[in-house]
Amino acid sequence: MLGPVLETLIGGLLTGVLYALVALGFVLIFKASGVFNFAQGAMVLFAALSVARLSEMMPLVVAVALSVVIMIVLAYAIEFLVLRRLVNQEGIILFMATLGIAYFLEGFGETVWGSNIYKINLGIPKEPMFFFESVFPGGLLIDREEVAAAVGCAVLVAALAIFFQVTRVGRALRAVADDHQAAQSVGIPLNTIWLIVWAVSGIVAIAAGMVWGSKLGVQFSISLVALKALPVLILGGLTSIPGAIVGGLIIGAGEKLAEVLLGPLLVRWFDLAGGGIENWFAYMLALVFLLFRPQGLFGERIIERI
């Protein structure tokens, strides 16, 4: 019994890392500009599509580099065409604008790159690995791609942490995240900062898109996977990078365990047509969690004044 449960747990944690990758992009933008960027999922899809299609024509490394350029251009376009014109609007208006961007990007990506299912080949062998064969009968089965994704994610987070803590731009970003007006008054250009965070979360989207793309194949459903990043986000707190990672792990592990352990029970008790509680469990977990801690695990304490 323990073996399969542990296997599910590890599988769930590794999936959680992938959720965290998507959530990271949300957090970066929300922190720096207060925009709840619903287009992150579409950006992941767009990035994955461009990597997949470009890597058909050139080596993977070049394709990724070119995709980075594309995402930076995209960030510039979004900043210049949309955000700049919506400065000082309420949060909900900006949120709706990103929904509009999401629709646009989904259509645009499929118009430019085509709408079939594409494959990204990261050059990682497909066959899973086995661990602890001496401890459990049959050992633990772990997907190599997911391990690679976890390592990649760790490297990315480390790089982001260094970027945020050490560099001059990173300091400016943190200043803007703390207080827009104060940052502006000491001479930090807001528009440039926004351009940078959108570009960085575009690059995070490339990483997420490559991993998801090699796992699921690059297709429309990737932008739906991004919806799963939302409970991760509110569980961890909208403004916290460690929160996104921890939230991702909790959600990933929680929903896989729930599917395996709770699913069959629910099916038996309520006479269901199949389980599939993965679809909502993450949201319910986050919802129940929020009842006790409204700002998420690591979110900033909400202080309200009149």
Partner 1 sequence: MFYREAGQFKTTYKADQAIFPIVQDRWFVIGVLAFAVLILPLFANQYLYTEVLIPVLILSLAAIGLNILTGYCGQLSLGTGGFMAVGAYAAYNLALRVPETNLIVVFLFGGVMAMLVGVLFGIPSLRIKGFYLAVATLASQFFLEWAFARVKWFTNYAPSGSVAVANLELFGIPIDTPMRKYLLVLFIVAVLALAAKNLIRGRLGRMWMATRDMDIAAEIIGIRPLHAKLSAFAVSSFYVGVAGAMWGFLRLGSWEPLAFDINRSFQILFMVIIGGLGSILGSFLGAAFIVLLPIFLNQVPGLLGIPLSTAMVSHLEFMIFGAMIVFFLIVEPHGLARLWAIAKEKLRLWPFPF
The distance of closest approach from Cβ of residue 279 to partner 1 in the complex, given in angstroms and rounded to an integer, is 5
Which residue number, 60 or 266, has a Cβ lying nearer to partner 1? 266
Query: What type of residue is 169?
Result: V
- Kindly report the backbone phi and psi dihedral angles of residue 239, in degrees, each rounded to the nearest multiple of 5, phi listed first: -115, 15
Question: How far is the C-alpha of 136 from the C-alpha of 139, rounded, in Å?
Answer: 5
**Footprint on residues 215-234 left by partner 1 (CB under 8 A):** 227, 230-231, 233-234
Burial 24-36 (b: 16+ CB within 10 A, else e): bbbbbbbbbbebb
Interacting stretch for partner 1, rule CB under 8 A, among 46-54, 90-98, 121-129, 137-145? 90-98
Span interacting with partner 1, options 122-130, 169-177, 209-217, 283-291, rule CB under 8 A: 283-291
For 141, half-sphere exposure in the C-beta direction (CA atoms, 13 angstrom radius) is: 8
244: enclosing H helix or E strand? helix 241-257
Q: Which three-class secondary structure state does DSSP give residue 118?
A: strand
Contacts with partner 1 in 247-266 (CB under 8 A)?
none
Does position 160 interact with partner 1 (CB under 8 A)? The reply is no
One of 215, 290, 297, 300 touching partner 1 (CB under 8 A)? 290
Residue type, 166: V
The count of residues interacting with partner 1 (CB under 8 A) is 53
- CA-closest candidate to residue 199, choices 41, 73, 51, 60: 73
Choose between 89 and 192: whose C-beta lies nearer to partner 1. 89
Residue 115 vs 167, nearer CB to partner 1: 115
Among 137, 185, 291, 301, binds partner 1 (CB under 8 A): 291
User: Which residue in the set 4, 59, 91, 128 belongs to the binding site for partner 1 (CB under 8 A)?
Assistant: 91
Task: Output the CA–CA distances (angstroms, integers) from residue 179 to 196, 242, 256, 291, in the order listed.
Answer: 17, 20, 39, 28
92 binds partner 1 (CB under 8 A): yes
Please give the backbone phi and psi of residue 130, each rounded to the nearest 5 degrees, phi first: -120, 135
Q: Residue 271, interface with partner 1 (CB under 8 A)? A: yes
Q: Is 262 left (phi over 0), alpha (psi -120 to 50) or beta?
A: alpha
DSSP 301: P
Residue number with CB closer to partner 1 (137 or 274): 274
x/- map, 177-216, partner 1, by CB under 8 A:
----------------------------------------
List 59, 128, 189, 294, residue binding partner 1 (CB under 8 A): 294
Residues with Cβ within 8 Å of 147's Cβ and at least 6 positions away in sequence, in order, are 14, 129
Cα separation, 100 vs 53, in Å, equals 25
Q: Binding residues for partner 1, per CB under 8 A?
A: 36, 81-82, 85-86, 89-93, 95-97, 99-108, 110-111, 115, 227, 230-231, 233-234, 238, 270-277, 279-280, 283-284, 286-287, 290-291, 294-296, 304, 306
